[in-house]
Amino acid sequence: MKARDDRAGRAMRHETRLYAAAHPVAYPLMRLLARLGPVVRVPGVGVVVNDAATARAVLMDERFRKDGPGSPGDLWTPVLGPSVLLNMEGEAHAALRRRLAPLFSPARVTELVSGVLEIPLRELSARLARGDTVDLVDEMRLMAGAVICRLIGMGEVSAREARSLFAEGERVVAMVSLRSRRLSDRQIAVARQVLDRVGDIAGAAYDRGEESTVMGRMRSLGLSAAEARGAAGAFFLTGSETVATFVPRLVALLDDSGWRPEGPYGLDRAIEEAMRVTTPTPVMLRSVSVPARVGRVAVRPGDRVLIVTHNCARALGPFDPARGHPPELRRLWFGAGPHFCIGYPLALAEIRAVAEMLLAHQVRVVGRRYARGVLIPTYAHLWITAGAK
């Protein structure tokens, strides 16, 4: 038991270093906020939530919105427009989500991922079987980039094209920090330049109307060309980096902790627990629309609510897939209620496909470097090879 606890502690230390490398100032402050209580008003920051049950209650309550002052809408509406799920509320949001939901059914995304990743996974498997040392971070950029290319309507792409498009997404996301409230005019111009290219690709696929493509399906479901372009931009920004950053961290957590998934649900439990520890969305923002209370703190219209998802998740303890998650914490890092991440099935399908192949090779970590100055903490490099230690 002590050996397992020691290895779990080692795994968590690497995760803490990843966060510190990404956010050397903001991360210590974020962890300090956890000591102030479940809900606290912090001048210049907003009402901070560190408790999972309270966080879920806020996310489920329509009085706390994504389209008001201090919300994600302030960041992304100037770039993506007003109607892209990320910044919508009410019936308009619900109606658009209902029309998009069939595109993200487990069966449909599994088919999409299988088709896109068949060759990259086969090639990576062959390299591992030969005993090569592989940079998993670079491989995940390729795979996540290839999936997002297919999603927005590019069809078959080269490895160079997939990596290039992923890098463009990184360029936009890197403009945002944990403290960002708005993008500057220069940042908006750069982001629009990148996303106009994505929109043009998506628009061309929409015009072709091929129902075998996501954009073609959007047209058949009755979405306008503008809605399809906006959705493509939102998927591009939120879909690729989550998977690309998570898989290397999952592999590192499993190797550092010595945990080996077993049984039909072993991998899924390891993925869910690694999601909790890594917390793909470490902070969520909401804007107060009417007088209300967050825990014991009174809030008024225009107040900013800062849900520190990372603090909520880390309160459960170190990495341990054998331990279940309480209901209030379950998948909180993907949101809750009407804004639960619509792309979750796609992310899970990608993660499973890659992780199953890597686990079949019993990969181990032989080297790593932390990425600095990024929004989502990640490895700059994670070198792996096949075979037990």
pLDDT tens digit sequence for 237-289: 777 788 999 999 999 999 999 998 887 779 999 999 999 999 988 999 899 99
Give the separation between CA 309 and CA 282, rounded to whole angstroms: 5
Of residues 3, 13, 51, the one with CA closest to residue 319: 13
Residue 77 scores a pLDDT above 80: no
Residue 47 scores a pLDDT above 90: yes
Neighbours of 164 (CB within 10 A): 14
Query: Domains in the chain and their CATH numbers?
Result: 2-35+46-317+325-385 (1.10.630.10)
Judging by beta carbons within 10 Å of its beta carbon (0-12, 13-18, 19+), is residue 26 exposed, middle or buried?
A: middle
Give the separation between CA 56 and CA 79, rounded to whole angstroms: 28
- Please tell me the predicted confidence (pLDDT) of residue 350: 95
Average pLDDT, the chain: 87
Neighbours of 134 (CB within 10 A): 19
* Tokens, residue 27: 């991360």
Residue 148 scores a pLDDT above 90: no
Region of poorest pLDDT, from 1-5, 361-365, 375-379: 1-5
pLDDT category, 192, cuts 50, 70, 90? confident
Region of poorest pLDDT, from 54-63, 77-86, 165-174, 375-384: 77-86
Residue 195 scores a pLDDT above 90: no
- Please tell me the predicted confidence (pLDDT) of residue 179: 63
Give the separation between CA 206 and CA 297, rounded to whole angstroms: 47
Give residue for tokens 């999952």: 250
Residue 98 scores a pLDDT above 70: yes
pLDDT category, 199, cuts 50, 70, 90? confident
pTM, two decimal places: 0.90
pLDDT category, 180, cuts 50, 70, 90? low
What is the rounded average pLDDT of the residues 131-155? 89
Of the two residues 251 and 374, the one the predictor is more confident about is 251
- Please tell me the predicted confidence (pLDDT) of residue 337: 87
Running DSSP on this structure, what letter comes out for residue 387? S
- Please tell me the predicted confidence (pLDDT) of residue 278: 95
Give the separation between CA 144 and CA 376, rounded to whole angstroms: 15
Region of poorest pLDDT, from 130-134, 158-162, 245-249, 284-288: 158-162
The predicted-structure confidence for 28-44, as pLDDT tens digits, reads as follows 999 999 999 999 999 88
Region of poorest pLDDT, from 37-41, 65-69, 113-117: 65-69
End-to-end Cα, the chain, rounded Å = 20
